[in-house]
Copies of this chain bind each other. A is one copy, B any other.
Amino acid sequence: MKQPDKHPAMIVHERQPFNAEPPLARLRQSFLTPEELFFSRNHGSIPDVDPDGYRLSVGGLVDGSLELSMEDLRERPKSEVTAVVECAGNRRDGLMGVAPIRGETPWGAGAIGNARWAGVPLREVLLEAGVGEGARHAAFVGLDEVEGADGSFNYGGSLPLEKALSPEMLLAYEMNGEPLPREHGFPLRVVAPGYIGARSVKWLSGITLQDAPSDNHYQAREYKLFSPSATEETADLSEGMMLGELQVNAAICEPEDGARLTAGPVSVRGYAIAGGGRRVERVDVSTDGGRVWSQTDLREGTDVPWAWSFWEATLELGPGEHRIVVRALDSSATTQPATAAEVWNFKGYANNSWHGVKVTAR
């Protein structure tokens, strides 16, 4: 399988399927994440799609099904959104520090990126097909093939119809002003701002309106949140909460964990996100485990509805070892839990506990 064209500094967790994330300091360099530093999250093959032969089918509970070529899609209204795509497993490494999590990628805080996506509003296409009676969910299926226990199948997932019809939802054919890169879903992908990345289905081949969520493995049995008392052995994967909206979250990108620094003023920088359509209102850092907090300065992104917010602070660090932690507060005055133990779950999703780095100053 051809490997995507990624920066050599990328941390590769797996080659096949290809799964990689950027070092955090590099990620923090651009408000719009360049393709070469955008995390790669794949469950199967990376299809090589001929755009001329490509067709998107829209069917299920619609008034009339559609078959759209890329040319058809480009003729329709074009819209843009600057939005984060974040893997539900971002920061799983923090949960793995509490108790083992088996068979899942040990993502650091780099399974997230922010890009300017452009394409056709999903809403346009759904209204053109006509939303039929009883339609409650929009199910997506991709052209990527996943090897499952019972043979191979195509990746898929779904969204509640209300979200699918929201104006921010895109069928994207551009990323940061360029044609969508092959690894990010060329020629067409879903972009579901504010939702876990798993719903932003790449290499989109079909949309089906239906009365229930997708029965695809990745909707019905993966990307589900279980109670902290559930285990791999005891959990019924058909139960559990289907993950959707992202949680308020923040990470320190600089200095890196384990860094050795000169004592004195230290610049601390990172990203923060709010859940759903909310705003990041405040980001705090602490060097004493959260007894005293300093408010950071919010930089790019706070006024961009679906984007991340960059933040920065200067901390005065004396000689010795320090643990710096960060937390964000969103526009619903919701903040993050303190410890990974509080949010641990055996699949390792949705870790939005305080992020921290240990540094030594001298």
- Cα distance A336–B353 in the bound complex, in angstroms: 11
Whether A335 lies near B337 (C-beta < 8 A) is yes
Whether A338 lies near B335 (C-beta < 8 A) is no
- Find chain B residues with CB under 8 A from A333 CB: 225, 241, 243-245, 247, 349-350
Give the contact-size bracket for chain A: 35 or more
Whether A227 lies near B337 (C-beta < 8 A) is no
Interface of A is mostly: loop
Most chain B CB within 10 A, of A244, A278, A332, is at A332
- Find chain B residues with CB under 8 A from A241 CB: 281-282, 329, 331, 333
Whether A227 lies near B278 (C-beta < 8 A) is no
- Cα distance A233–B228 in the bound complex, in angstroms: 42
- Cα distance A352–B332 in the bound complex, in angstroms: 12
Whether B342 lies near A245 (C-beta < 8 A) is no
Choose from B247, B294, B335 the contact partner of A342 (Cβ within 8 Å): B335
- Cα distance A341–B293 in the bound complex, in angstroms: 12
Q: Which residues of chain A in 261-318 are interfacial with respect to chain B, using CB atoms and an 8 Å cutoff?
A: 275-276, 278, 281-282, 284, 290-295
The answer to whether A245 and B284 touch (CB under 8 A), given A337-B337, A338-B338, is no
Choose from B329, B332, B337, B352 the contact partner of A245 (Cβ within 8 Å): B332
- Find chain B residues with CB under 8 A from A352 CB: 334
Most chain B CB within 10 A, of A229, A329, A333, A342, is at A333
The answer to whether A293 and B334 touch (CB under 8 A), given A245-B278, A276-B276, A278-B245, is no
Q: Nearest B residue to A275 by beta-carbon distance?
A: B332
A87: interface (CB < 8 Å): no
